[in-house]
Amino acid sequence: MTVNKVSVLNVNIDAVTMMQAVEMVEGFFQSSDKTRLVATANAEMVMMANEDNELNDILADADLVVADGAGVVWAARHQGDMMPERVAGFDLVQELLKKSAEKKYKVFFLGAGIGVAEQAKAKAEMKYRGVNIVGIRDGYFKPDDEENIIAIINALKPDLLLVALGVPRQEKWIKKNLEKLNVKVAIGVGGTFDVMAGNVKRAPLWMQKANLEWSYRLFLQPQRIFRMMAIPKFMLKVMLGKKD
């Protein structure tokens, strides 16, 4: 599949639909040459990448970067580029779990607080009958535990490793361990397990459709105000057409 890339403040985003993104990830499951890194970019991540060279390089090298946030879709279209739709990381994960139930792809959940990945797994097993979640591990480990965690993951040979350590830690963790990991695809999934476990709510669908999901997130987690200040800055930078 040839995919058009759209540069949003110097971060290349793949112009794909949800269906195409799922198809691409399934294609990565079939190929055996290397571990693929998938990132889900929103305005905060793009702004962070503008300041953080390591994150910027990771996104530039990523095998797939989807438009996770409404802000990124808006920015692409504002520039006159084609961006078919928002591909929210949470929704992408749900679609891949459905595929796992159908085709038995092996999935490993790494990250979030103690017990959260476990609860997310239990909920997924009820929702997607036959989903093949082969292992879980919380995200509050010491650097000394890392080798052991990677050995556990590798022994299970998952097709898909979901890493929920927050941005940009999860992307940096995946990149650092890319060569050591015996998995087909690794995706940084942020708060996905918290939502799946039922600890954090996603905005109602009408708010998602009205591009207001960010405001609901702010309402539920007001402590995010400082990091969310990146959103108006992002919009301003896009409108001023800065390409630095």
Stretch that binds ligand UDP, among 9-17, 158-166, 201-209, 235-243 (CB under 6 A): 158-166
Stretch that binds ligand UDP, among 24-32, 75-83, 128-136, 161-169 (CB under 6 A): 161-169
Torsions phi, psi of 66, nearest 5? -100, 160
189-218 residues in contact with ligand UDP (CB under 6 A) are 190-191, 193-194
Q: With binding defined as CB under 6 A, does residue 72 bind ligand UDP?
A: no
Candidate list 78, 84, 113, 212; residue touching ligand UDP; CB under 6 A: 113
Least distance (Å) from ligand UDP to the CB of residue 42? Answer: 8
Residue among 144, 151, 147, 146 nearest 135 (CA): 151
Question: What is the rounded distance in angstroms from the CA atom of residue 222 to the CA atom of residue 217?
Answer: 8
Question: What is the rounded distance in angstroms from the CA atom of residue 114 to the CA atom of residue 112?
Answer: 7
Question: What is the rounded distance in angstroms from the CA atom of residue 69 to the CA atom of residue 155?
Answer: 34
Q: With binding defined as CB under 6 A, does residue 140 bind ligand UDP?
A: yes
Least distance (Å) from ligand UDP to the CB of residue 30? Answer: 28
Chain position carrying tokens 């941005």: 167
Least distance (Å) from ligand UDP to the CB of residue 64? Answer: 17
**Using N-to-C axis directions, what is the helix angle for 43-51 and 230-239, rounded to 10°?**
80
β-strand partners of 160: 107, 185
DSSP secondary structure string for all residues of 53-81 = HHHHHHHHH-SEEEE-SHHHHHHHHHTT-
Of the pair 84, 113, the CB lying nearest ligand UDP is at: 113
Candidate list 6, 41, 43, 165; residue touching ligand UDP; CB under 6 A: 165
Candidate list 16, 70, 97, 167; residue touching ligand UDP; CB under 6 A: 167
Candidate list 112, 124, 183, 185; residue touching ligand UDP; CB under 6 A: 112
Q: With binding defined as CB under 6 A, does residue 111 bind ligand UDP?
A: yes
Q: How many residues does the chain have?
A: 244
The binding site for ligand UDP (CB under 6 A) comprises: 111-113, 139-140, 164-167, 190-191, 193-194
